[in-house]
Structure 1
Amino acid sequence: MPETVDDLRDEIRRAVGRHERIESTAFTKEALAAICDAVGYEIDTNHLPPKSEMRAGILWTLGVVETDAPDEVDHPFRKAELEAIADALRE
């Protein structure tokens, strides 16, 4: 059975030491910061950047997008993007 978006989000949360969510929800800033750390995208953890900046940085680090410009990823992660992140964290 294919994984749902919620399954992928929870797998990613577990992989970076965050807790699963009962309800369907996008990642919090703190969860995105943990993913940034896990994939090697450096951010200022004293003042977390906007979500779009962290999402773009994560996808850029994984080679999913060509730039880490926040306006390129101004939406919650799509299923294919979640799959790419989950695959990277499985390695």
Structure 2
Amino acid sequence: MSPTVQELRNAIRVATGRFEREVKASFTKEELQAVCEALGVDVGEAGRSSTSQMRRLIRVQVDIAESLESASGSTFRKADLQALADEVGA
């Protein structure tokens, strides 16, 4: 059986040095910064990128989107999370 969205998020959190959450929750800005760091994504000056910008950068890095312009800044869907989990070794 495939993991749930919450299980995928928690696996990604753990793989990037963050803690698991017991409640369903999207990634926080700090968690997105940790994911970017784990993927080697440059988030700009002192990590001041918005959450939507970081999601777009992550989607491009993980090959979910072809370019920054075509990448969505919305929350990650299950397929996105699965690709991201594979990329960070979760």
The answer on whether the counterparts of 1:36 and 1:54 sit within 8 Å (CA) in structure 2 is: yes
Partner of 2:6: 6
> C-alpha root-mean-square deviation of aligned residues, in Å?
1.7
2:55 counterpart residue number: 55
Name the % identity: 38
Instruction: Identify the residue that residue 77 of structure 2 maps to in structure 1.
Output: 78
2:15 corresponds to which residue? Answer: 15
Q: TM-score, normalised by structure 2?
A: 0.91
Structure 2 stretches lacking a partner, 5+ long: none
Q: In 2, Cα distance between the equivalents of 1:46 and 1:54? A: 13
Structure 1 residue runs of 4 or more that deviate by more than 6 Å after TM superposition: none
The alignment of Structure 1 onto Structure 2 pairs a total of residues equal to: 90
Tell me the TM-score normalized by structure 1. Answer: 0.90
Higher relative CO (Cα under 8 Å, sequence separation at least 6) belongs to 2
